[in-house]
A and B are shown apart, each in its own frame.
Chain A
């Protein structure tokens, strides 16, 4: 029963979702789908507590044993539990000015900072990959060159105002790139459907733990 019950739940819930998406006029299905959506959100919120326990265990052990970098672990726990208790017992919601301050002045700028490091990683990835080791790499280099010049004013400046690079860049994006992406998307969509069907029918059970046997 340890495997059969989760498989049965998976099949029934998946069937409800599929049928409620395709068919209209059945109030029961729409109600069930809304209920399942709400249950999912509730479970998603509750299991955050499990994640916090996991983090507290790992970093608490690091602090207790004073392992390398334990100060960072202590700081993490202070921030995590600090935000948790302050939000629940003081701010009591996301509309409080203090909560908005912590989100807009601390979390958002930090996210933007990490996102902006991508520019350096793109530079290092470009340095490593744009080398003419093979025909494909050579084509990649030429296309990247055209795309970069087509997207900055320097391209037109080099050609005395001629927008040739911009036109070539647009063509590369709209024709071969779009064709390739759409092909991948069609394949990925069918793959996703097949995976979902395998899971729904209980053929693929890797997500249950172990080999599913």
Chain B
């Protein structure tokens, strides 16, 4: 048994990263001080968006993206859905959750139902509000467009893995008069969300959402480790640039091992 060729450096980098995550989580569990994380406007606006829906008597629309359950962005979206569903249950606000992937639909239904049960309002859960539209990308886009035009949500939460349909959702949400909070790690879609939505979570901010919203020290600890990993990446970039500039391929060869 040996490490596959081309994966040696990434294996050790991930091992160090895993160790950092575990150390920071343990520090948080013991109540030791962990650094503060910066404010993320989109996440702070989540409660404001749900409150707007409650006041206007209009539903919240949540789309966890079109990625499948293996996609980390979808799992991050599920964590956010858990928070949003809990808030909607607390304030008796309708939550319409549209899904493209059937497995994700099943997870969403369980999450939303559990949120209503934990809020003490199991009868308020409406199964018809958690919907599977279609496995086909643009059939899903068309279905969501129709739902947004008919239901007129006051908040449109687009969080997860999106592709070409991202701008369709953002523009239709704007036409419906919704406050829009979007977030994706797909770099090609981020510009559309930034241009068309009120708030946008860029890349890693989507993954930070569950920790940020719950403020659990253990989850916040892993965020700090994430930032340290990023700093390690920056150090490698600077060192690599300097070394290659002076003609040394050492770091380049090391990363390719």
Contacts and interface: CB of A to CB of B under 8 A. Distances in A.
Interface of A: 21-26, 40, 43-44, 47-48, 50-51, 54-55, 57-58, 61, 69, 107, 110-111, 114-115, 117-118, 121-122, 124-126, 128-129, 140, 181, 184-188, 190-199, 203-204, 206-212
Nearest to A49: B102
B229 A190 contact: yes
Nearest to A126: B195
Given A114-B138, A128-B196, A211 B82 contact: yes
Contact of B204 (A111, A191, A209): A191
A187 B203 contact: yes
B23 interface: no
Contacts, number: 187
Interface string B101-118: 011011100110111011
A111 B137 contact: yes
A24 B2 contact: yes
A60 B83 CA distance: 31
Given A44-B102, A121-B168, A121-B171, 19 more contacts: A24-B1, A24-B4, A40-B70, A44-B68, A57-B128, A58-B128, A69-B150, A111-B139, A118-B168, A124-B171, A184-B187, A184-B202, A193-B72, A194-B229, A195-B76, A204-B79, A207-B75, A207-B79, A212-B82
B105 A51 contact: yes
A194 B223 contact: yes
Interface of B: 1-4, 7, 11, 14, 17-18, 21, 25, 68, 70, 72-73, 75-76, 78-83, 86, 102-103, 105-107, 110-111, 113-115, 117-118, 127-128, 131-132, 135-139, 141-142, 150, 164, 167-168, 170-171, 174, 185, 187, 190, 192, 195-196, 202-204, 206-208, 210, 218-219, 222-223, 225-226, 229-230, 233
14 contacts: A21-B7, A22-B3, A48-B135, A51-B132, A51-B135, A107-B136, A118-B164, A122-B167, A181-B187, A188-B203, A191-B226, A194-B225, A198-B21, A206-B81
Contacts of A69: 150
Contact of A23 (B1, B106, B187): B1
A96 to B, nearest CB: 19
A196 B72 contact: yes
A4 to B, nearest CB: 17
Interface centre among A114, A115, A206 (most CB of B within 10 A): A206
Contacts of A194: 17, 21, 207, 222-223, 225-226, 229
B86 A186 contact: no
Interface centre among B2, B138, B168, B203 (most CB of A within 10 A): B203
Contacts of A114: 138, 141-142, 168
Nearest to B196: A125
B72 A185 contact: no
A55 B110 CA distance: 17
Given A47-B102, A121-B168, A184-B202, A198 B219 contact: yes
A140 B196 CA distance: 13
Nearest to A46: B102
The 4 closest A-B pairs by CB, nearest first: A210-B114, A191-B207, A206-B79, A191-B204
Contact of B138 (A21, A22, A61, A110): A110
Nearest to A47: B102
Contacts of A48: 102, 135
Given A58-B131, A187-B204, A190-B233, A204 B2 contact: no
B196 A209 contact: no
B102 A185 contact: no
Contacts of B3: 22-24
A128 B197 CA distance: 10
A25 B196 CA distance: 50
Contacts of B70: 40
A48 B114 CA distance: 22
Contacts of B114: 209-211
